[in-house]
Structure 1
Amino acid sequence: MAVPLPKAAVDWTAMWNFAALRTAQGVPEIFIVIDDYDLVALPSGNPLEALAEYFPYARDIGLRINVARNTAGAARPSFDPFSRRLKELGATGTILSGNPNEGPLVGTTGG
């Protein structure tokens, strides 16, 4: 069953109703867990780049992405389309430990 995406300019009530409709229709939540992201995102290519186009609609389509990676070399994601898109959209993140000298890892928060 196809669930229509909400229009670009919707209010929070409409978004809440859309989420309730999606749940009522039985649209599943999709969880993608990526461990050791540094081993996935290689200079030769990243198989996860195709998912980046769905990030703006993740909440609406039930897409949840958890990425675990080493904080060493955190400046590299600025060159990686997958990580850059997550950062551009203000994705929520958790930093368990890391070197503050690495700079901002999630939003404006450092390690």
Structure 2
Amino acid sequence: MKKSASIALAAMIFSGCLGSAYAQTTGAISDKNVSVIYLAEADKGSEGVHSVPTITHQKILQAQEELRADNALRSFLQQKRVELNNVIIIEKAANGDRIVYVR
């Protein structure tokens, strides 16, 4: 019984370590169905995990408008210490989650 409990505990600790390493590698912070991608981190070799969308002036304006209209998203990003004026694109994933790209 002790052996299986030890194995379960080791598995939980090991999986937690891998999860944090993955987040650091990709430059993504995931919580409340929002992923924040810092473009400087995405370009450093995330090995294709995140493809950076084409940045246009129109997309930047749309992202800033969405931030002004969505208090919950704005509050969440501020808690994560994201500079709101650096948000350049907000995409919606197929599952409804949001992907926020920050320069």
Q: What range describes the TM-score normalised by the shorter chain of this pair?
A: under 0.3
Q: Which has the higher helix share?
A: 2
TM-score (norm 2): 0.27
What is the TM-score of this pair, normalised by structure 1? Answer: 0.26
Would you tell me which structure has more strand in proportion to its own residues?
Answer: 2
Indicate the structure whose relative CO is greater, using CA pairs within 8 Å and at least 6 residues apart. Answer: 2
